[in-house]
Structure 1
Amino acid sequence: MKGGPARQGASFPPPRLPAPADTQAAPLVRLRPRLRPLMAPLALLGALFVGLFFRLGGIPLFDVDEGAFGEATREMLERGDYVSTWLNGQPRYDKPILIYWLQAASVQLLGLDEFALRLPSALAATAWIAAILAFARRFLGRDTGHAAAFIAASTAGLTVIGRGAIADALLNLFLALSMFDIYRYAVEPRPALRRRAFLWIGLGLLTKGPVALLVPGAASLLFFALRGRAADWWRALRDPVGWAILLAVSMPWYLLEYGRRGDAFLAGFFLRHNVERFLSPLQGHGGSLLYYLPAMLLLLLPYTGLFLRTLPGLRRMKATPLDSFLWCWFLFVLVFFSLAGTKLPHYLLYGATPLFVLMARRRRELRSTLLAFAPPLLFLALVAALPRLLERFAPGIRNPYMREALGRTEAFGTAWQLGVLALLAAALGLALWRGAALWRRLAAVGLLCSLALTGLLLPALAELQQGPVKEAALLARRGGWQVHGWRINMPSFSVYRGAVTPATASPRPGQVILTRSDALDALAAQGPFQLLYRKGGIVLARLPE
């Protein structure tokens, strides 16, 4: 019948209707759970690359420290002396031997350049971050472990130290490993854990000396005492096997060096670079008791706001054994080095590892957009304003060397300025965007700040301060000049020239002198000279016969 129901058995194809939205998105929905576990590891790998390996060999060595370590390593290879270190032909007692061995091995494998000299530190910093990941993941879960490692990898202080051809990244690795094993031992008192901590301390002693024993020993004592377990700490300390491991690792080099240098080694290394460093400012590096408070805010960029949000947790430091352990570690380092006569910002990094874990643990408690994003945005704004600030203030600096070094504009090309403005705009957009959790947006901004530091700021500073040093050294190398240093301390010059640059107390006729532009008046007072090179305050001059 017309208009009636279809006959039974009649077949009509169903209409082609659009698929429901959830059906269309099903493949993507299925894909997201598979990708989610990979996001944190991929973000961490990106932070490691940007913070530690991006342009690692693309900028000159910084003086004094990188230049001194680099030249001591070059002279080690030149002399074939793998026990004692020398700097410009003079004994160097500043640090133990391990970092020089690692740098020498890297140079032997890759050739003498900035990348080879910095690679051991970058690898040590990578291992340091991996140790943070393993520890935090074990005691606080996978997400917090990745967050702690990411914070560490993209923090300004660790980035700078981890890229430096110096001993501190390696020392921080051994401090972290020893302290983490001490806590594992506190939770599960197995002799193997205790003895492994002794091993790390021994390697730390071979890296930078007594501080590698002081920090784990004193900080762990505070922790055990706070938890009412001082007797357990004392029993662990008296482990003869542990001490045998520590001494077997560290003492052979100390005995060999003492056998060669005798009392000069004791006076130079132990008295001057350890005892005197604590009792009085060494090489002018002093400061007040509050020195490390502003230093801490800078070292922890771009997570300064997260640190301030974490700080009230100090009131709950006895809430759990882990809280007690982390706060005791940080507080000992802060108090001890605040009392020390010699103060340098990177000393605070010996106590930064527990802060990375604490900040990761409290990251979701940060809810203030202003507190989270003001520090990184201010940092990026200052980087963007750096060329204008130098143009404004450099001409008024009285010291000729500083005026010439900071008055060069070639380090800030158009690409540099467009790059920093793009990073600032992206960071501002992330701060204002509400489409993701605040912590995730802060982590993304942290990666942008790390890129600004390693890709823009450090290369520009290196060009301003060190570019002329390298250029002058290569010129002297091509000319085959025998150069003496006078009123200047730029050991990287010797690295690039491939030869020792002895210091002279008084320039002599016929010598080629490396000096600074603020010493030219004093040089002219000794007689006429021929200017061979002058740029950025770095001068090469020849005195006539």
Structure 2
Amino acid sequence: MDSINGSFKKGSVQKIKMIELFNLSKNLILNNTRLCSYLTIAFVFLFSFIFLSAGSFSLPLIDRDEPRFAQAAREMLEKKNYLVPFFNGEYRLDKPPLIYWLMIFSYSLLGINEFSARLPSILACSILSVILYRFSSSYSPRFRLFVPLSFICSVQTLIHGRLATADMVMVLFVTLAQWAFLNLLHKKSWSWLFVFWISLALGFLAKGPISWLVPLFTFILFRFVFWRKPSSILSLYFIPGSLFCLGIISLWAIPALIETKGLFWKIGMGEHVIRRGMEAFDNRPFIPFYYFISPFLSLFPASAFFGLFVETLRKKWSMDNAFLLSWFLAPILIFSFYATELPHYIMPGFPAYFLVIGQAISETKPTRFSILFALFLYILFFVFSLLILFLGFAAGPTVDNPLKPVFLSIGLIIFLLSLFSGAMMHYAYKNSSRAISISIMATAYITLNCVFGFLAKDLHSLSLTSRISPLFKNMPFSSQNYAWGYTEPSLVFYSNKIWKWDPLSSQLNPPYFSLRQETETSLSKALLNVFQGKKQPQLAQKTNFSVDNLPPPGKWGEGKIEGLNLGRMSWVKIEYSYQY
């Protein structure tokens, strides 16, 4: 008995020492503000990086932009021509080269695959979340974590933060430039001056003149509309700063213009900037006030805080908030007169929105209007998520409708994003039950990562290019490749061969690969056909999707296959033939 008591006392003493050691470590961390700040920054970065990486390994490159960027970087690497990008053996002059350089660096580390192509965007978005955390320390020190977390969890960030395109890199440098601009409006600073002009240069190298137009229109709105008080811009050192910025750009631009004989300017600026502003790209319809509506979807679930956004600007009006409002509206003003309308065009202004709602959570008491507006949007999207889940369950077994898991995943993602955002709001305003809020956020975060992974695998198994790509493995370098109807850039990336987008006019001598689109059905019509097939069983054979496996790749073959065209969100059937 004495030995048992002795062991018990010894264990109790060790337990007490462990608790004391834990409390001592906790106090050391909490009292060390610098260490605490570094740990929080690491948390924000890892939270963002893991969230955006989920599913990015298996998600196929989405037509049409992702394969073009990824393949152009590969061809730049293979040709060892780092000035001028190529795609499918031809000039690709619609974007400057920074994103290709970043992809090439990623390829050299991780090989050429979907994740390495997306890594620059994922890293840019993760770094941007850290910048927003630091930026928000001046406005919402108590709840500054709210700013980067709500930014990362918004719909448009979740989409473009994991895409192999130039957008997130551009948004990163625009945000850095705006942060520096605001600091320079307060006082002169050589460090912020260099950050401003270098960010403008790198922003241009990422996606062209939009990185200059956003700060320019921000200042115009700030100086002449919202603040209207003298604001010195002498601290920008405009002439030497502009020369410095242009000098950085010219290190690439002059050799590139010489090599392409001016085509880079003619196509990059003339076709892809000016012409898209005057003529709608791909015959897209022009929708009046499009950019006053689309942010409510793009910013969701944080768009539910729009009432708080308005209340904060009204009650906490200041020079900084006038600048943030000008920043948020600048891209909307720029692209409202642009013929081509795409929801991600106004992303450079989104960081300003999150910085304002960070203040709202920290300082502004919610009004009846802001609460009702938030409830309205939450209920609206909750009902929308239930509708998508219902469509998934009602569409029949997965054998008949392979899109069922996709609909279930999308519905679940919308529901979990709403839950995560609601828990953040609850954490901010309900001090008594924050443990519950943290538990809900952690559960939603982990579940979302899992759902992103499942969704990516489902889309990979349904993507038509992914399904047919095993036939490309034995394709020789000299193969003649023709596609008609289904002319998606992903064919070029996954085969790494030159394709001609023409119908096959005569019999080809091997080696060759030929495919022709037989039918294409929009997803809405395809799903309607599924439900009609359930009501009329005799039509079920005609309305069901088919995802039969391909025969093993050989030296020759022919057949038909169908799958999802991710670029057009349609269900496509093609016939193919090849001989190597």
Same fold (TM over 0.5): yes
In 2, the alpha carbon distance for the partners of 1:227 and 1:435 equals 35
Range that drifts further, 170-179 or 479-488: 479-488
Q: Give the one of 534, 538, 544 matched to 2:562.
A: 534
Counterpart in 2 of 1:205? Answer: 204
Q: Is the 8 A contact 2:169 2:206 kept in 1?
A: yes
Task: Report the alpha carbon displacement of residue 99 of structure 1 after superposing the two structures with TM.
Answer: 0.3
Counterpart in 2 of 1:386? Answer: 388
Q: Is the 8 A contact 2:96 2:207 kept in 1?
A: yes
In 1, the alpha carbon distance for the partners of 2:318 and 2:455 equals 45
In 2, the alpha carbon distance for the partners of 1:43 and 1:374 equals 32
Task: Report the alpha carbon displacement of residue 227 of structure 1 after superposing the two structures with TM.
Answer: 3.8
SS at match of 1:288: coil
Q: Is the 8 A contact 1:118 1:164 kept in 2?
A: yes
Cα distance, 1:426–1:336 mapped onto 2, change above 3 Å = closer
Counterpart in 2 of 1:124? Answer: 124
Cα distance, 1:80–1:307 mapped onto 2, change above 3 Å = same
**Is 1:460 paired with 2:461?**
no
Gaps of at least 5 residues in structure 2 are 1-15, 522-556, 565-571
Cα distance, 1:280–1:203 mapped onto 2, change above 3 Å = same
Could you tell me which amino acid in structure 2 is paired with residue 157 of structure 1?
Q
In 2, the alpha carbon distance for the partners of 1:127 and 1:144 equals 19
Task: Report the alpha carbon displacement of residue 206 of structure 1 after superposing the two structures with TM.
Answer: 0.6
In 1, the alpha carbon distance for the partners of 2:25 and 2:232 equals 50
Task: Report the alpha carbon displacement of residue 147 of structure 1 after superposing the two structures with TM.
Answer: 2.0
CA offset digits 1:110-147 (Å, max 9, x no partner):
1011111111111111111111111211x225334322
CA offset digits 1:442-494 (Å, max 9, x no partner):
78767766666654368537744863311212222245564322223421222
- TM (norm. structure 1) is 0.79
Q: Is the 8 A contact 1:366 1:439 kept in 2?
A: no
Counterpart in 2 of 1:332? Answer: 330
In 2, the alpha carbon distance for the partners of 1:71 and 1:82 equals 14
Q: Give the one of 330, 342, 345 matched to 1:344.
A: 342
Q: Is the 8 A contact 1:84 1:257 kept in 2?
A: yes
> Percent same amino acid among aligned pairs?
21
**Is 1:258 paired with 2:257?**
yes
In 2, the alpha carbon distance for the partners of 1:238 and 1:425 equals 45
Matches within 5 A, 1:1-400: 44=44, 47-137=47-137, 139-225=138-224, 226-228=226-228, 232-233=232-233, 235-236=234-235, 239-315=238-314, 319-364=317-362, 365-366=365-366, 371-372=373-374, 375=377, 379=381, 382-383=384-385, 385-386=387-388, 388-389=390-391
SS at match of 1:328: helix
In 1, the alpha carbon distance for the partners of 2:318 and 2:578 equals 69
Range that drifts further, 421-430 or 277-286: 421-430
CA offset digits 1:401-431 (Å, max 9, x no partner):
xxx9x952474599x6997799599769969
In 1, the alpha carbon distance for the partners of 2:147 and 2:418 equals 26
In 1, the alpha carbon distance for the partners of 2:306 and 2:287 equals 22
Cα distance, 1:156–1:327 mapped onto 2, change above 3 Å = same
In 2, the alpha carbon distance for the partners of 1:163 and 1:427 equals 20
SS at match of 1:323: helix
Q: Is the 8 A contact 2:562 2:574 kept in 1?
A: yes
In 2, the alpha carbon distance for the partners of 1:451 and 1:333 equals 34
Q: Is the 8 A contact 2:516 2:575 kept in 1?
A: yes
Task: Report the alpha carbon displacement of residue 246 of structure 1 after superposing the two structures with TM.
Answer: 0.4
**What is the Cα-based RMSD across aligned positions, in Å?**
4.1
In 2, the alpha carbon distance for the partners of 1:247 and 1:341 equals 28
Larger RCO of the pair (alpha carbons < 8 Å, separation 6+)? 1
Counterpart in 2 of 1:408? Answer: 402
Q: Is the 8 A contact 2:393 2:404 kept in 1?
A: no
**Is 1:475 paired with 2:471?**
yes
Range that drifts further, 423-432 or 171-180: 423-432
Task: Report the alpha carbon displacement of residue 439 of structure 1 after superposing the two structures with TM.
Answer: 9.2
Gaps of at least 5 residues in structure 1 are 1-22, 396-403, 521-528
Range that drifts further, 162-171 or 31-40: 31-40
Cα distance, 1:500–1:217 mapped onto 2, change above 3 Å = same
Task: Report the alpha carbon displacement of residue 257 of structure 1 after superposing the two structures with TM.
Answer: 1.7
Q: Is the 8 A contact 1:383 1:457 kept in 2?
A: no
Cα distance, 1:89–1:461 mapped onto 2, change above 3 Å = same
In 2, the alpha carbon distance for the partners of 1:334 and 1:394 equals 42
Cα distance, 1:88–1:429 mapped onto 2, change above 3 Å = closer
CA offset digits 1:30-49 (Å, max 9, x no partner):
99877878696686356414
Cα distance, 1:451–1:516 mapped onto 2, change above 3 Å = farther
In 1, the alpha carbon distance for the partners of 2:378 and 2:491 equals 35
Larger Rg: 1
Q: Is the 8 A contact 1:50 1:450 kept in 2?
A: no
